Amino acid sequence: MKRDRPIERFFVAILVAVFMCNPLCNALAQDWAKERLNKSPRHGEWVDLKSGDRTIKAFVVYPERKEKTPVVIVIHEIFGLTDWVRGICDQLAENGVIAIAPDLLSGQTYSDADGARKAISALTKEQIKSDLDAAADYALKIPAGNGALAVCGFCWGGGVTFSYANENPKLKAAYSFYGPAPDEASKVANIPCPVYGFYAENDERVGATIPKAEELMRAAGKKYEPVIYKGATHGFMREGEAPNASEANKKARDDAWARWKTLLKQLP
């Protein structure tokens, strides 16, 4: 029996290592994100938004400043409105803008990542647009807002960001983080603002969509600035913030934030 124990310990160690390094676990087990959020001095609150015949929840965070400020809509990942996404709202507020993240899965329950994916997949384009329009309408009426509106999104939300930019003529900027880019001229024809892309080098599924989008945006006379972060993997904004982040993802996150901060200052 004694000879078996080292083998048992070895396999236990392997399982622990896999668990700690699994991006899916980082997406769902976000105590580190919640801790940062709980320590924030900024004001965050839940609000109800009327979207068609239903009511959805949204999380709003305000910056600590005396001037009126732009508002950024935050579209969550395929995992839903997690603590990390709420943390992104807080970090945006830390950088001087109001952030509002609508919960596109409001009223739904799911116990794991697969359940969240199924719930996201069941959303219709019409419902997503209605919910985002509700967030946009609320954002433009916030007394502390200056009337400038932008949108950002991550993973699934990054793709929705690009799509929504084609549907809301009031947007001043769109920030798409590692979401699939458009593949048809009709999907970019009405974009009213610059689109800034943030992509991972090791993410060919998404990266393969960039050249076509560049071609379409150029032909339509639209501004599209994609940046690919060397060595990073899909989800690097979240993965790079996690305690077990790889050096490549951590650097990509830091570099992306540095760029994003500069872009946020350019909002009217």
Burial of residue 15 (CB within 10 Å: 0-12, 13-18, 19+) is exposed
> Helix, strand, or coil here: 80?
strand
Residue 110 confidence (pLDDT): 82
Per-domain residue ranges of the chain: 30-265
Residue 258 CA to residue 268 CA, distance in Å, equals: 19
Helices (H), 55-203: 83-94, 113-121, 125-140, 156-165
* Selection from 40, 127, 36, 126 nearest residue 82 by Cα: 36
Element (H, E) at 252: helix 247-265
Q: What is the pLDDT along the chain (268 residues), one digit of tens a residue?
A: 334 454 343 333 323 333 333 344 455 558 999 999 999 999 999 999 999 999 999 999 999 999 999 999 999 999 999 999 999 999 999 999 999 999 999 988 887 888 888 999 999 999 999 999 999 999 999 999 999 999 999 999 999 999 999 999 999 999 999 999 999 999 999 999 999 999 999 999 999 999 999 999 999 999 999 999 999 999 999 999 999 999 999 999 999 999 999 999 999 9
> Token pair 């999104």 is at which residue?
153
Decide if 252 contacts 227 (C-beta within 8 A).
no
pLDDT of residue 111: 78
pTM value > 0.85:
yes
Determine phi and psi for 34, rounding to 5 degrees.
-65, -40
Phi, psi of 211 (to 5 degrees): -55, -45
Residue 195 neighbours by CB under 8 Å, 6+ apart: 162, 165, 173, 174, 175, 176, 217, 222, 223, 224, 225
Which whole-number Å values give the CA distances from 114 to 27, 78, 117, 120, 121, in the listed order?
A: 12, 10, 5, 10, 10
Q: What is the pLDDT of residue 116?
A: 87
Residue 177 pairs in a beta bridge with 154, 198
Contact 196, 248 (CB under 8 A): no
Domain at 30-265, CATH class? alpha beta
Instruction: Centre a 10 Å sphere on the Cβ of residue 94 and count the other Cβ atoms it contains.
Output: 16
